[in-house]
Structure formats: C-alpha cells, structure tokens
Structure 1
Amino acid sequence: MMHVNLMNNYFNPNSVYTEEDFRRHFRMRCYVFERLLRDVQQVNPYFQQKRDRASYPDFSPHQKVTVSLRMIAYGSPADSMDETHDMSESTFLDTLQQFCDTIIQVYKDEYFREPNQEDLNRLLRKVEDCGFPSMIGSLDRMHWDWKNCPTGWQ
C-alpha cells in the first residue's frame, strides 16, 4: 500500500505532487532520483523488487531509495520510518547502509575523488564570484560570520 501511495504521489502520470513539489520534498529533480534508482538497482540486487517468505512483495526499490534519501536530506531518525513508510527501524538502517555503500561504489570514481588542478581552479573562480576569494578550505562558505545569528547558535 505504501508503494502505491508513493507512486501515485510522485511518480505516476498525473501524480498528486508537481515536479516543483518533488524537488522540494526530495531535494533533487525527479530525473536525478530516477538515475540514482536505476544505478543502484543495476549494481545491488538489494534494490530489486523481491517477495518475502510469505510471497508478499517486499519493499519496492522506490521505497528503499526514498527512505534513504529522506534520512540523508532531512536527518530523519530511523524509528520514524515505521509511521510514515511502514518500515521498521532495523530494515531502514539496513536499507540506508546498502544505499550508501552502493552510491559510493557507483559514483566514487566520478564524484568521490581528490580534486585536480582544473577542479580547484573552477572552484576558486566560483567562490571568488561570490565574494570569497581563496576560500578553498570551506566550500560551503560556513566560515564567515553572520551578525544576525541567534545567540543560541553563536
């Protein structure tokens, strides 16, 4: 049932939520999600649809990728997945581990590598355009002071 709801809400034609809603909820565009889904399914059989011991469909690949991304994007606690995605804490943690391991395996050569000189030059130009020259040590720009920061965060 949760798979059907997920598909009707986000992935089927005439889904409940728009592409803009999808991007806001998943923190990525739908085609990026579909690429991740396809890539992890090709590499790791854990993300292929199976049946449990009672011959009922197991969690769908869409459900597994969705709960993993929700944990990463929102920092959702594992024990909250039983209420919203009908998945136990231990299953969710297994799914998250499988997802992270698979993402590293699939994308490590392209995205998880030491930057070369060309990468560094491009990044330096980008941060200089934002007014932060020579700021390669803090690409997320979190080292600058915010004068209106709430005192609890200072």
Structure 2
Amino acid sequence: MVTLLGVYEQNNSSMLQILKSSDSSKKISGSVVGHRYICRDRRQGHDRLFADYFAVNPMYSPTIFRRRFRMRRPLYLRILNAIQAHNSYFVQKQDAADVVGLSPLQKMTSAMRILSYGVAADAVDDYIRIEESTAIQSLQQFCNLVIEIFGVEYLRSSTPTDIARLLAIGEVRGFPGKAPPVHYTINGHSYDIGYYFADGIYPQWATLVQTISSPQ
C-alpha cells in the first residue's frame, strides 16, 4: 500500500493538477444535442472484466493481474471496498428507466488503467464500455478518494518508527539495515563506506547512488 500510494502521489501529481484545473463549470447532464448515442452494453463490459480478473477461476493469472493493475487483487479489492463505503459514486445504481449503471469494477478499473498506462480517457472505452466523460469523472473521484481515505496514513513523510519497521523488513529479505564495512580505492581516493544503486524516489543519502533520476 505504501508503494502504491507513493507512486500515485509522485507520478500522478500532474494528472491531478490537470483534473483540478479543468473547467468546473462544465457539468454532464444527460444527452448532448448533436452527439450520437452509443449503446455500449455496459453489462457485457462488466461480465468480461469480471471473468478476466475477478472470477473464482479468472482467465488471467495473479501475476498478470499484478502487472496490469500495478498491485495484487486483494489490495485492489481492499481499496474498492473502502471507496465504496466512503462515497456512493462507486456504488452501482439504476436510473429512472431502471437501466443498471456501470459497476464499481468498471469505474475503478478505468481509473486504474488511465493511471497505470498513462492513456487517454477514451482508450478504455472499447474494453470496459465506459464513455470518455465518465472515465474522466471516475478518475477524478478515485484520486480524490484515495487521498481522502488513505492520505493521513500513507501519503505522509516517514517517521522514525516507519523507517525502523521498513529496515527490519528489508533485513529479513536480505537488504541489511546497516552497511557492511568496506574499503576500496577509486582514482587514487580511498573510501570506507559502501553504496547501493537506487532511483530518484529514494532520499539523498551518501550510501545511495541514484543512477535513474526519473523512474517510470
């Protein structure tokens, strides 16, 4: 969760700025004169998405799920349950004509695909069956709710307790909390401190050499 939300905060800040700076006076209110109505068959979009990733025996494996959603399925469902409980936008509804709207899976997955792949809002329509304006609205709602629900716990600076806990976990996995003693010479200069290669998300510490300044 820490990694996921950290990525959202760092890599998608520009996306949030674009959403917040958009013309808030524009409101979606029914059909627009001159626009052709497309019967997207929302139910088919939900059924296919469910069968692909969320069924008891889904078409795609957990490994593929993690690669495409940038997280494991239990974490995805945890976030989905949290935002559903917090805001009714992600609760499936029926309109006045008893037509069932988009499912929570469709709305959240459209937001996740836009964030994960950096694609345009209408790029997810043909798979998820969601129009561009609704995809943008889902993305904005999703980003705001993630910050609102998880921001206090995860979108903050690390405390000494957090660092100690993460170092302990890293040590169990083979990444020592303290650098081992070393001594080497480069270009006639002697050094007695080791270093690790890292990317731009890590702090500016002497033991971390940031070889990748802008990770994608």
**Which structure carries more helix by proportion?**
1
Tell me the alpha carbon deviations over residues 58-94 of structure 1, each in whole angstroms, 9 at most, x when there is no partner: 1100111111111111112112122222211111110
Alpha-carbon distance in structure 1 between the residues aligned to 2:58 and 2:166: 38
**Which structure carries more strand by proportion?**
2
- 1:130-149 equivalent positions in 2, closer than 5 A: 131-132=196-197, 136-137=203-204, 143-144=210-211
Alpha-carbon distance in structure 2 between the residues aligned to 1:65 and 1:120: 31
Match of 2:85 among 13, 23, 42: 42
1:5 aligns with 2:48: yes
Whether the 8 Å CA contact 1:123–1:136 is kept in 2: the answer is no
Whether the 8 Å CA contact 1:22–1:29 is kept in 2: the answer is yes
Q: TM-score, normalised by structure 1?
A: 0.79
Alpha-carbon distance in structure 1 between the residues aligned to 2:164 and 2:197: 14
The aligned length equals 143
Q: TM-score, normalised by structure 2?
A: 0.58
Alpha-carbon distance in structure 2 between the residues aligned to 1:121 and 1:50: 45
Unaligned runs of 5+ in 2: 1-43, 180-194
Unaligned runs of 5+ in 1: 147-154
2:132 aligns with 89
Cα RMSD (Å): 2.8
